[in-house]
Structure 1
Amino acid sequence: MGKTTRTLRRLTAGLVLAGAALLGPAAPAGLADTATPTPSGSASGAAAEAGPTEAGTSFRTAAFFRQGRQATAQASTGDYLYWQFPADSGERPTVTATVTLPDSALRHGSSAWRIDVYDGLRRRQPCMYGMQSRLAAKDAATVELACTLRPVRAAADTWSNDPLPGSYFVRLTVTGLPEDDLGQPFSARIGASSKELGGAYAADGALAVPLVPGATTPETVEARAPEDGWSSGWWSDRWLWTAAGGVLAALAGIGGYVLTRGSGRPSRVPPGV
């Protein structure tokens, strides 16, 4: 309900602004500020909470963290590291990774690193943009990776491979380096945040339950939900925009009627003329 409440608040403010623009002077700047959308799961300063300090080694053991938090891990070069986070309908998630490399004096050459993101059905999701694979020079201290997914839809055809609500898995590994560098220690930091897109990508229908692998009870599904819970699926802000359009059309009709009636009245002629 938290996501729906935020959407209602923003779009109600937008409706007030639209009505004010039609019938009178613009609303105060303070009211306009309340209609500014805020990305969900974004972390800023002390608001960001710490996530897990270990990673899994497979999909089944992937470490769980929520958007807006940072997950960290220490491992040996060559290991596959797995994390998972929840993403809901109407969101466009972005995954970031920072790899702190071994001391350059111990390395024998450059290394290539990569992150891949999979949905709850373990389908690899393509990146809309972002550097999900990068080559780190021998003297580089860190390497930065990023992957922005397509918008998550409430429902989709089975053949479409569109992202669906549920758990998303992040896999980090090195894909190329000198053989002598295998096993050297490194550390990784993973984060995820989303931009809320609302009804622009809404779809008719919804999944019966979010795609959360291993969840056998409703309690388990909720335990892997975003902080404000899973959305109902059928709701989107396009319902409010439709209602807003109807209200504005009615106001425009009333205004047109008043103007027409006023211009159609016969002018009074003074007595004796």
Structure 2
Amino acid sequence: MRITRVSSRALAALGPTAALAAGLLLGPAVAPAVADSTPSASPSGDGSAPTEAGTSFRTATEIDQGRTATASGSAGDYLYWSFPADSGQRPTVKATVKLPKSHTAQTWQVDVYDGLRRRQACQYGAQTRTAAPGTASVELACVLRTVRAWSEPWANDPLPGTYYVRLTALGLTAADLGLPVGAELRVDSADIGGSAAVDGSLAQPLVPGIAVTSGGKKDDSSASAVLSSTEPDDGWSSGWWSDRWVWTAIGAVLAALAGIGGYTLTRGQGRPRHVPPGA
């Protein structure tokens, strides 16, 4: 997010009152903007990280952002994980595959899908890599686009909800099929902030299984039905608030102060008093 800098000369030109008002407004707004640019890497929850992966979308292992999940499997298996992503976040998926000592060249790939199981493109990162024979491990990465609070129905933009990660090997030879492998997966997000804000929000995040599994008793009509229980630590955002409102208010106040200062500098000294003829 771009941070607007106001020079001391500009504030001095507006006068001490304007400088004080701008300082009070800019002070609390700059600190969150700087803090939001760092990825969220603090573990959430007090449980241990998952040590297994699912084999399909329906059995995907749920993980929290900022935690490293591990799993053991065989070359040729499909490994699935799921994680929540909210509006304004730019998730980064990193996977490490530990290979056996003896193997031929293997190509591994990590794919990310949203709650509607639409494959999401990676902005950058090594999504597919080939490990040479005898390589101990291979590292993959996928940086997604920023999650939007709302999008057109025909668009393929990332939206708030559950995201799936699929890790697998491509084109394995018969000699490598079934060899034991280990996998590590970690998801972190950078908070992009108001620069990615849009005017709109989803009625509900894209969490699959809304009408499949009930979170309460069968006879409880008010129970919410969800298949995925993961969500951001502070809950799903409403989509209408962003720091763009803060910077818009700051711009309006500075514009008003600049107008007052310009009027003060350019106004005349007042009309001369009327002097009667012959006085």
Instruction: Report the equivalent of 2:68.
Output: 70
Question: C-alpha offsets along residues 21-52 of structure 1, whole Å, 9 cap, x if unaligned?
Answer: 6244997xx98666413346532699998521
Report the CA distance between 1:178 and its aligned residue: 2.0
The equivalences for 1:17-28 within 5 A come to: 18=6, 22=11, 23-24=18-19
Out of 163, 168, 178, which is 1:168 matched to? 163
Equivalent residue, structure 2, for 1:139? 134
Partner of 1:271: none
Which residue in the other structure is 1:187 paired with? Answer: 182
Structure having the higher Rg: 2
Following the alignment from structure 1 to structure 2, what is the Cα–Cα distance between the partners of residues 176 and 50? 34
Q: Which stretch of structure 1 is more off in the superposition, 239-248 or 47-56?
A: 47-56
- The runs of 5 or more residues in structure 2 that have no matched partner are 12-17, 212-222, 272-279
Match of 1:214?
Answer: 209
**TM-score, normalised on structure 1?**
0.80
What count of residue pairs does the alignment treat as equivalent? 250
CA RMSD across the alignment: 3.3
Distance in 2 of aligned mates of 1:255 and 1:221: 59
Q: Structure 1 residues 213, 39: CA separation in 2 closer, same or farther (over 3 Å shift)?
A: farther
Give the partner amino acid of 2:251: G
My pick for the range that moved more, 46-55 or 141-150, is 46-55
1:226 is matched with which residue? 232
Q: Which structure has the highest helix share of the two? A: 1
- 1:80 is aligned to 2:75: no
Structure 1: give runs of 5+ residues left out of the alignment.
Answer: 1-9, 267-273
> Percent of aligned positions with the same letter in both sequences?
56
| Conserved? CA contact 2:207–2:228, under 8 Å | no
How much does 1:199 deviate?
A: 2.0
Distance change >3 Å, CA 86–CA 179, structure 1 → 2: same
1:178-216 residue CA offsets vs partner (Å, 9 max, x unmatched): 211111111100011111112222222211100011245
1 CA distance for matches of 2:43 and 2:198?
35
Secondary structure of 1:226 counterpart: coil
* CA distance in structure 1 between the partners assigned to 2:65 and 2:151 by the alignment: 23
